[in-house]
């Protein structure tokens, strides 16, 4: 993944290993990129991700989010400062790198010996807000892994994850270094880089959307003749057919079970403690074309051209008790 805010030297360095933000991708924790695509990029088979509007705005918001974090510390009387360090390599694992958003230092200092921790900044869309909780450890696993990788590379004991969710929800999550997890990250990175970049071994195939995006990017068009129908390829085709058939059976069984449950509920509210079959809130539809032809778009006119549709009943199963 290319990070436009990094220097050319840091960009070149990141091509020689896994950055802390790429470790979760290699582990299969990212919904946006697959390990297979990452490996293809590192092998030079695909160009790095050049960014988009989402990453562009994330970079633009990075500084005000960081300023908010340091301002809160200063208001509390802490004499701290932050700055952006260069991309660094792990002291023993040459394949593990880190480009921390910010390093925390005492005010007036920048020497490596004075570094206190890392600050990882995220501008997160509102639809991901449910991934964050009120507890200190209630953060996405990918972000936790990224910060732990940074702490391992920089050899620091604490960090902060600071997301701005939906543009208006500022949060702070302190993260303490987990040395056992750091050792596992080092071991995994060494093995992954050797297997999938140096040796070029394929990453495991999975059915995620991220892997499907990789396939579309890696093989955008057919350029050769049809392959020979070998036993191995026939087995793959059979596997797809069998999976589709099993899915149809499962969908039919689900539909029959739902119909039987609704029949049992009838016009009741549901089954106490197990399931409900209730109507959603009514929805209103305004005939705006009719409003446009009316003499004035008053509330009364709009009401005349508004159709209210009763909410459809939704069957919801109660959570299973543990």
Phi, psi of 123, rounded to the nearest 5 degrees: -100, 110
Query: What pLDDT does 234 receive?
Result: 93
Query: What pLDDT does 1 receive?
Result: 46
DSSP state string for 260-298:
HHHHHHTTSSEETTTEEEEEPPPEEEE-HHHHHTSS---
DSSP state string for 71-109:
HHHHHTT--EEEEPPPPEE-SS-TTBEE--SEEEEETT-
Query: What pLDDT does 98 receive?
Result: 97
User: Whose structure tokens read 């008790």?
Assistant: 321
Closest CA to 87 of 153, 165, 22, 138: 153
Q: What is the pLDDT of residues 105-120, one digit of tens each?
A: 999 999 999 999 999 9
Q: How many residues does the chain have?
A: 322
Give the whole-angstrom CA distance, residue 60 versus residue 167.
12
Q: What is the pLDDT of residues 202-222, one digit of tens each?
A: 999 999 999 999 999 999 988
Query: What pLDDT does 74 receive?
Result: 93
End-to-end CA distance of the chain: 42
Instruction: For strands 169-170 and 173-176, give the pairing.
Output: unpaired
Give the whole-angstrom CA distance, residue 175 versus residue 117.
10
What is the residue-level pLDDT of the chain in tens, covering all 322 positions? 445 456 677 778 888 999 999 999 999 999 999 999 999 999 999 998 877 888 888 899 999 999 999 999 999 999 999 999 999 999 999 999 999 999 999 999 999 999 999 999 999 998 888 888 777 668 999 999 999 999 999 999 999 999 999 999 999 999 999 999 999 999 999 999 999 999 999 999 999 999 999 999 999 988 889 999 999 999 999 999 999 999 999 999 999 999 999 999 999 999 999 999 988 777 777 777 776 676 665 667 677 767 777 767 675 656 765 5
């Amino acid at each position: 993944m290319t990070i436009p805010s990094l220097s050319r030297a840091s960009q070149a360095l990141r091509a020689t290993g896994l950055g802390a933000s790429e470790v979760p991708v290699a582990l299969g924790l990212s919904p946006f990129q697959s390990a297979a695509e990452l490996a293809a990029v590192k092998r030079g088979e695909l160009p790095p991700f050049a960014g988009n509007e989402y990453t562009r705005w994330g970079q633009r918001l990075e500084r005000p989010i960081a300023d908010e974090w340091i301002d809160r510390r200063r208001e509390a009387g802490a004499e701290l400062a932050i700055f952006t360090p260069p991309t660094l390599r792990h002291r023993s694992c040459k394949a593990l790198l880190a480009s921390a958003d910010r390093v925390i230092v005492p005010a007036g200092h920048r020497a490596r010996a004075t570094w206190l921790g890392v600050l990882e900044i995220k501008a997160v869309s509102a639809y991901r807000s449910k991934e964050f909780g009120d507890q200190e450890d209630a953060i996405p696993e990918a972000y936790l892994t990224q910060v732990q990788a940074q702490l391992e590379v920089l050899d620091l004991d604490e960090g902060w994850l600071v997301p701005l969710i939906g543009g208006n929800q500022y949060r702070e999550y302190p993260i303490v270094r987990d040395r056992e997890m750091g050792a596992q990250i080092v071991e995994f990175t060494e093995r992954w880089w050797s297997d999938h970049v140096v040796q070029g071994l394929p990453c495991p195939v999975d059915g995620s959307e991220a892997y499907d995006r990789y396939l579309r990017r890696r093989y955008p068009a057919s350029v050769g003749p049809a392959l020979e129908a070998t036993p191995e390829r026939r087995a793959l085709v059979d596997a797809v057919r069998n999976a589709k058939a099993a899915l149809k059976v499962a969908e039919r069984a689900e539909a029959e079970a739902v119909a039987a449950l609704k029949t049992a509920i009838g016009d009741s509210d549901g089954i106490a403690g197990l399931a409900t079959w209730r109507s959603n809130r009514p929805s209103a539809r305004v005939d705006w074309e009719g409003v446009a032809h009316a003499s004035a778009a008053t509330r009364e006119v709009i009401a005349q051209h508004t159709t209210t549709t009763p909410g459809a009943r939704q069957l919801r199963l109660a959570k299973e008790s543990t």
